[in-house]
Amino acid sequence: MKNSTTVNKQTPTEHPILDSIKNRWSPRTFADTPISESDVQVLLEAGRWAPSSSNIQPWRIIWGIKGTEMYDRIFDCLDEFNQSWAGNSQVLWINAFKKTMKDGTKENFHALHDLGLFMGNVIHQANSMGIASHQMAGLQFKKAQSEFNFTEDYHVATAVAFGYYGGSLDNLPEDLQRQEEQKMRKRKNITEFAFNGNFKNNS
């Protein structure tokens, strides 16, 4: 039996960064160790203290622990590809954000940015607890909007799978097993996205 704990990811950083950032990655299989409700509350507390434009805190989270109806309802809103592996996780949740501000009279252009800051805190906290996270864009957002009674003033954006690092790669389809076994992580070079001068279109 293969086990993802044997996959030692290599992060070729060009400058020294925090180990908690360097060692974070997004697996598709997880250990069977349960995540408790109190652990979920810790993750939410970390997210709660993220900065946001005018301190509006536009994020809204729907969460469920494996073995509960809420988990199953969230799972049913994932697209088919993500359903092929997300059932390995111990917690699923959905991220949404409020699209407006000032009592609905003005669009909040920064809400999605603020949700990203929220999740940055959550991921950092989770990794410090040995909990991996995998964010998903593959979500039937209109179905989720209806399933969880979001009003039109909110947009369902992403889903997230959580679980402790570990677990058997045998729980994944073969193509995803190969992806999981890839050791070398890749990112664009800093010079491709950060400019001490005018913008350059590097695509």
Question: Looking at the domain assignment, is residue 139 inside a domain?
Answer: yes
Question: Looking at the domain assignment, is residue 154 inside a domain?
Answer: yes
Round to whole Å and give the CA distance between 87 and 71: 9
pLDDT computed for residue 185 by the predictor: 84
Residue 33 — φ and ψ, nearest 5°? -60, 125
**Is the alpha carbon torsion for 187, 18, 8, 85 positive or negative?**
negative
Question: Looking at the domain assignment, is residue 98 inside a domain?
Answer: yes
pLDDT computed for residue 141 by the predictor: 96
Instruction: Look up tokens 């030692």; give the residue.
Output: 8
As a residue count, the chain comes to: 203
Residue 154 — φ and ψ, nearest 5°? -120, 150
Assess contact for 10 and 82: CB atoms under 8 A. Answer: no
Question: Looking at the domain assignment, is residue 85 inside a domain?
Answer: yes
Please count the structural domains in the chain. 1
pLDDT computed for residue 108 by the predictor: 94
Would you write out the chain's pLDDT as a tens digit for each of its 203 residues? 334 444 678 888 999 999 889 988 889 999 999 999 999 999 999 999 999 999 999 999 999 999 999 999 999 999 999 999 999 999 999 999 999 998 878 999 999 999 999 999 999 999 999 999 999 999 999 999 999 999 999 999 999 999 999 888 888 888 888 888 788 888 899 999 999 999 988 77
Round to whole Å and give the CA distance between 118 and 106: 22
Question: Looking at the domain assignment, is residue 145 inside a domain?
Answer: yes
Question: Looking at the domain assignment, is residue 197 inside a domain?
Answer: no
Distances (CA, A) of 84 to 39, 87, 91, 147: 25, 7, 15, 21
pLDDT computed for residue 15 by the predictor: 94
DSSP tag of 68? S
Query: What's the pTM?
Result: 0.90
Residue 107: give its domain's CATH number: 3.40.109.10
Question: Looking at the domain assignment, is residue 63 inside a domain?
Answer: yes
Round to whole Å and give the CA distance between 25 and 49: 23
Q: Which residues of 171-195 are buried (b: 16+ CB within 10 A; e: fewer)?
A: bbeeebbeebeeeeeeeeeeeeeee
Expressed as residue numbers, the domain containing 107 is: 24-164
